[in-house]
Amino acid sequence: MTYLVGSGLTAYGRHEGQTTLDLMSQASAQALNDAGLARGDIDGLICGYSTTLPHLMLATVFAEHFGIQPHYAHTLQMGGATGMGLVMLARQLVLSGAAKRILVVGGENRMTGQSRDSAIQVLAQVGHPTYEVPLGATIPAYYGLVASRYMHTFGSTERDFSALAVLMREHAARHPGAQFSKPITEDEVLASRPIATPLKMLDCCSVADGGCAVVISADPLGDHPIKISGASQQHNAQHISAMTTLSDFGAGRCTQRALADAGRRLDEVEYAAIYDSFTITLTMLLEEIGLAPRGQAGHLAREGHFGLNGKVPLNLHGGLLSYGHCGVAGAMAHLAETHLQMTGRAGARQARQAGVSLLHADGGVLSSHVSVVLEAV
Amino acid sequence: MSETLDWTRGGTALHCQQCPSCHHLWYFERDFCPACGHTEPTTRQASGGGVVHATTLVHRAPSDEFRAIVPYQMVLVDMAEGFRVMGHAQPGVAIGDAVHCEVRQIAGRAVPYFLKDDHVA
């Protein structure tokens, strides 16, 4: 068995003057403290990329900066799925015996470390460099295309999408570290500035500065261990022009395999942490995974199904849409919040029951998928 | 611009590739079949006709070149031969519309541009 024994999460938003290494360091120090470990206890380090600190060897750069000399270290790149990919990899490394106590970290000054155009252009590179990017495509444009087809196929409406933005904002209001905490209404989402139809500004996550780290261990160390009981990936295609269908990106199969790995069923899931780069992303993932019937995610959100007191509380920190998105650490915030929820330390945000938890993230344009199942010790 | 070169190589044609062995057909150019590995795929010019699969009207452009033409209509089109193309389109096209492709200069580069079949230029 493998355990997540500590987590650290900075506030997301504007951290003027803070670098990638600063943000990674802050989150890592918090995670070690949470686990009750010292730097010398760490024998493995895996981290995500940073768009503001592109480097061939970021993990070793960070190890030197933070002050550790691990037996095993490197960087992983899976776009938005990197955080969950790191958790799966750390588990594999622990199970293989390559390392016993692994620091997993992501952080980036994505908001203040570059211009907005630069961030948009870098992210658009997940599209095809010859056949897609030169057309003036952006990440919201790729997702706008996917959303138009989804609405056509499954009958979802722009108002249905907006209900998920409203829910994430409601959740973020209970977290002091969230980038956006002012309540919004469905009408405000619908009236927000168009970005790439049908997506409007409040359907899209913004960019933030921030960092997140966890410690993954072979033993249930410290006061807050939880079990990593299942994990799986699925990669259908990188580019939406090359996807055989825009109705099945592989999230469902990925999750089914992760649950099977854990010996669990979907109806046993008590807490969900699902990637929400756009309202359409969250809609598609919830519905493809089966946490909502097709076309019903917005309706269930409106009914309170995914709320603090709902049947399956979802992203209680506010998700990428409202807690914020700083790259690799974006989805890792879902993980840190799940850890707090599962160990009863979420304060005003505490769900009544958060035992079996399902996490899912995607990278690219629903290109790479990683699912992780966590359980109480 | 050459009529027979693909738009990605400075021409006005839209090419697809097919495997002479397993008959798999695809869009992104390679020198092998991604289904069976055959190393002599054929390259041919597509008819240009297709049906709109997905649409978005882009208001937030990635750069100054594209900012000059916002909002612009982008589409995914299912081509008659059986491959999918991302391109620009005349404003107002909808999913299910029959369209045809012509390569146009947009924001200083060649781009597949789709017009509705009933469109009168």
Contacts of A245 (CB under 8 A, 6+ apart): none
Closest partner residue to B86 (CB to CB) among A135, A148, A195 is: A135
CATH number of A93's domain:
3.40.47.10
User: What pLDDT does A26 receive?
Assistant: 98
Please report where in the chains the tokens 């970021």 appear, as a residue: A58
pLDDT over threshold 90, residue A45:
yes
Tens digit of pLDDT for each residue in A171-198?
999 999 999 999 999 999 999 999 999 9
Q: What is the pLDDT of residues A70-81, one digit of tens each?
A: 999 999 999 999
Instruction: Tell me: pLDDT of A156 over 80.
Output: yes
Q: Give A290-328 pLDDT, tens digit per residue.
A: 999 999 999 999 999 999 999 999 999 999 999 999 999
- How does pLDDT run across A79-131, given as a tens digit for each residue? 999 999 999 999 999 999 999 999 999 999 999 998 888 888 888 889 999 99
Structural domain contains residue A6: yes
CB contact under 8 A, B86 and A240: yes
How far is residue B44's CA from residue A281's CA, in Å, rounded to a whole number?
Answer: 36
- What is the side-by-side strand order in the sheet with A72-76? A72-76, A44-48, A101-109, A209-217, A2-9, A226-235, A368-376, A357-363, A271-274
In a domain, A302, yes or no: no
Q: How far is B44 from chain A (nearest CA, A)?
A: 17
- Smallest Cα–Cα separation from A241: which of A145, A156, A150, A175? A145
CA gap A205, A301 in Å, rounded: 18
Report pTM: 0.97
A144 near B CB under 8 A: yes
* Closest of A139, A174, A189, A150 to residue A327, by C-alpha: A139
* C-alpha to C-alpha distance for A93 and A45, rounded to whole angstroms: 11
Number of structural domains (chain A) is 1
Name the residue type at position A301: A
Give the separation between CA A140 and CA A146, rounded to whole angstroms: 10
| Distance in Å from the first CA to the final CA of chain B | 21
Of A128, A144, A149, the CB nearest to B53: A149
Whole-complex ipTM: 0.96
Residues of chain A with Cβ-Cβ distance to B97 below 8 Å are none
Amino acid at B52: V
Q: Is A347 helix (H, G, I), strand (E, B) or coil?
A: helix
- Chain B residue numbers touching A152 (CB-CB < 8 A): 54, 95
Q: Which amino acid is at A196?
A: A
Burial class (CB in 10 A: 0-12, 13-18, 19+), A96: exposed
Using a pLDDT cut of 90, give the percent of chain B over it.
93
Please give the Cα distance from A53 to A21 (Å, whole number): 9
Q: Report the C-alpha gap between A210 and A251 in whole angstroms.
A: 27
- Tell me whether residues A137 and B54 touch, CB distance under 8 A: no
- The alpha-carbon gap from B52 to the nearest alpha carbon of chain A, in Å, equals 10
Rounded CA-CA distance A286/A281 in Å is: 8
Average pLDDT of chain A? 97
Taking the Cβ of residue A155 and every Cβ of chain B, the question of whether any pair is shorter than 8 Å is answered with no
Q: Which one of A138, A193, A239 has the shortest CB-CB distance to B62?
A: A138
| Cβ within 8 Å, pair B76-A241 | yes
Structure tokens at A144: 């706008």
Q: Cα-Cα-Cα-Cα dihedral of A192, A152, A305, A268, to 10°?
A: -130
For residue B4, what is the DSSP state? S
**Is A313 among the domain residues?**
no
Other C-beta atoms closer than 10 Å to the C-beta of B36 total: 11
- What are phi and psi for residue A42, nearest 5 degrees? -85, 125
Task: Say if A141 falls within a structural domain.
Answer: no
Residue A39, in any domain of the structure: yes
Shortest alpha-carbon distance between residue A6 and chain B (Å):
39
Instruction: For chain B, list residues whose CB is within 8 angstroms of any CB belonging to chain A.
Output: 8, 26-28, 53-63, 65-66, 69, 71-72, 74-76, 84-88, 95, 106-107, 109, 111
Using the beta-carbon criterion (under 8 Å), do A136 and B60 form an inter-chain contact?
Answer: no
Q: What is the pLDDT of residue A283?
A: 98
Sequence-ordered list of residues with C-beta below 8 angstroms from that of A240, at least 6 positions apart, any chain: A127, A132, A142, A145, A146, A246, A365, A366, B76, B86
- C-beta atoms of A242 and B66 within 8 A: no
Joined tokens for residue A316: 């209680």
For position A334, what pLDDT does the model report? 98
Neighbours of B101 (CB within 10 A): 23
Q: Nearest C-alpha of chain A: how many angstroms from B58?
A: 4
Retrieve residue A301's tokens. Answer: 């959100």
Cis peptide upstream of residue B112 (ω within 30 degrees of 0): no
Token pair 């021409």 is found at B11
Q: What is the pLDDT of residue A234?
A: 98
Residue A62 confidence (pLDDT) above 90: yes
A100 occurs within a structural domain = yes
Query: Which pLDDT score is estimated for A120?
Result: 84
Nearest-Cα residue of chain B relative to residue A243: B84
Q: Across the interface, do B74 and A147 touch by the CB < 8 Å criterion?
A: no
Is-contact B54 B73, C-beta < 8 A? no
Chain B contact for A35 (CB, 8 A cutoff): no
pLDDT in tens, chain B (121 residues): 566 899 999 899 999 999 999 999 999 999 999 999 999 999 999 999 999 999 999 999 999 999 999 999 999 999 999 999 999 999 999 999 999 999 999 999 999 999 999 865 5
In chain A, the percentage of residues whose pLDDT exceeds 90 is: 96
Q: Which distant-in-sequence residues (6+ apart) come within 8 Å of A201 by Cβ? A: A192, A193, A194, A195
Q: Is residue A55 part of a domain?
A: yes
CA distance to A59, A230, A336, B18, per residue, from A63 (Å): 6, 28, 21, 49
Residues of B in contact with A145 (CB under 8 A): 54-56, 74-76, 86
Q: Does residue A190 lie in a domain region?
A: no
* All structural domains of chain B: 49-116 (2.40.50)
- DSSP character string of A233-255: EEE--SSGGG-S-SS--SHHHHH
